[in-house]
Amino acid sequence: MAERFGGKVALITGAGSGIGRACAERFYAEGAKVILVDINAQGLDDTVVQMPDSARVHSMVADISSPEVCHVAVATTVEVFGQLDVLCNIAGIFLSGRIEDITPEAWQRILQVNLTSVFFLCQAAVPELTKTRGNIINMASTAALTGQAYSSPYGVTKAGVAMLTKSLSMELAERSIRVNAVCPGAVNTPLAATASFPQDATPRLIDKLMSFYGFAEPSEVAALVAFIASEEARYMSGSVVPIDGAQTAG
């Protein structure tokens, strides 16, 4: 595998499982030093054990729903590795249910994890990415591109991520910081495995969440993230890119 990220430093949230772990493994395999952040300590340990060069890996157990913690994560990255080149905002949670069943607490929690954290991590990272002419990849979803029943809070947060990506790509262009988002469809992750919908949900609406190709693997999404983060994609900014097996094509 080519080492497109030799000498680069990547901060990856949600690195304890799923797409976040796959991104961590991909950036490490391509030569990057990686800062791995997740609220799940055991999941982080399981990720780190796959990376034998401990000098290129630092893990941080943290809840990035706090703006203060977002700033600490970036400061820790610079303290440990001296720079930041790529910010991957991968961490996220899923919430489903009919609208009348969504509690204020659940609404606030998904906003904080899926959207607020992305904003404040970007805010904290901008001064460091300005120095390295780095870039940001945000994890959105097909739920940012098309309505999906029984998961409106999730869709709202991911649509917010997509618009934040577009807005920041314009604002930060003068600093040569690229900002892009990836929109996966169904992916074989613990998040997808534990997703549930109302027992009386309309099957036709649930079927619309699937693609013609079934589930993607996290490594396939990570490959796209790595390409976008690399110099091969230097002309990409403001892109919101689906990887969904034609789920949103029609």
Q: Which residues are catalytic?
A: 154
Contact 73, 64 (CB under 8 A): yes
Written as one string, the DSSP assignment of 154-196 is: HHHHHHHHHHHHHHHHHHTGGGT-EEEEEEE-SB-SHHHHT--
d(CA 94, CA 22): 19
The residue type found at 241 is V
Q: Is the dihedral of CA 180, 64, 21, 154 positive or negative?
A: negative
For 140, the token pair is 């959105």
Burial 53-73 (b: 16+ CB within 10 A, else e): eeeebbbbebebbebebbebb
Closest by Cα among 154, 207, 212, 150 to 183: 154
Give 39's DSSP letter: S
> How many other CB atoms are found less than 10 A from the CB of residue 244?
23
Instruction: Look at the chain and count its residues.
Output: 250
